[in-house]
Amino acid sequence: MADQPAARPAVMRHPAADSCCCQNRANRPPAASSSSTGPSSTTRPSSIRTTRSAWRMLPGPVGDDDPGARHRVLDGYRQLLAALRRRSPIALAQLSSRPALIDGLFFHARRGDLRRELQPFADRLRKRSNPVTRALASLHPDGHVREAAVSAMVERPRPEYVPFLAERAVEWVEPVRRRALAGLHKMLTEQPARYRPLVARELPRFAARRHGPALAALLDQVSVSRTG
């Protein structure tokens, strides 16, 4: 009788509510194998000094065809944030264009798993900030930091900010949520052709969230005002 294939490890389901999961779970990267695109035992520490190397810390391929992958390697997201501390806005554009990857980043940020890795971005936001700092500081556990990051993004809007502003537009802290919605409204009103498709792309991610309908209503409101 042939041996039965080993069962795959259970994958954590994405929470439908806004509240962060407070349970402490051990988060370990998957074991390296010959078919894995993650780092092997021969990976040199210096190879994790670029954003491209940090991508490899995450399950591969990281894409919409493998949504469960975004929850399996917390260490990968920690390495990614460490790499992004030294990268240009180009890296932010790469991150924003990968929905499954950014969805996992948001998930772990809401859980509080990345508090230590996000702190440098919060510190930089108070002194000097760049697009990467503004976007990632918006994931910080402190609501005051998130609100300041949202204000900074709204003052200098970029397409790469849309996923981060949408995440804040459905969050549990009302002042932050209101500021993000107002910022998205301004962006949609001033440059609808540029921002409407990007905001619409975010709607499925937030459909089950408590404040998700507000984001959909915002998009409908702007569409009606333009046709009215």
pLDDT, tens only, 69-91: 545 578 889 988 988 887 667 78
Residues of the chain where predicted confidence (pLDDT) is lower than 70: 1-72, 87-88, 224-228
Q: In the chain, which residue ranges form alpha helices assigned H by DSSP? A: 51-56, 74-84, 89-96, 99-111, 115-127, 131-137, 143-155, 162-169, 174-190, 192-206, 212-227
d(CA 216, CA 202): 9
Q: How far is CA 71 from CA 26, 34, 62, 103, 120, in A?
A: 12, 21, 11, 9, 23
pLDDT value of position 129: 79
pLDDT value of position 22: 38
What contacts 24+ positions apart, CB below 8 Å, involve 132-137? 132/84, 132/85, 132/87, 132/88, 132/89, 132/91, 132/92, 134/161, 135/92, 135/96, 135/160, 135/161, 135/164, 136/81, 136/84
pLDDT value of position 62: 41
CB 156 within 8 A of CB 135: no
Residue 31 dihedral angles phi and psi, to the nearest 5°: -65, 140
pLDDT value of position 63: 43
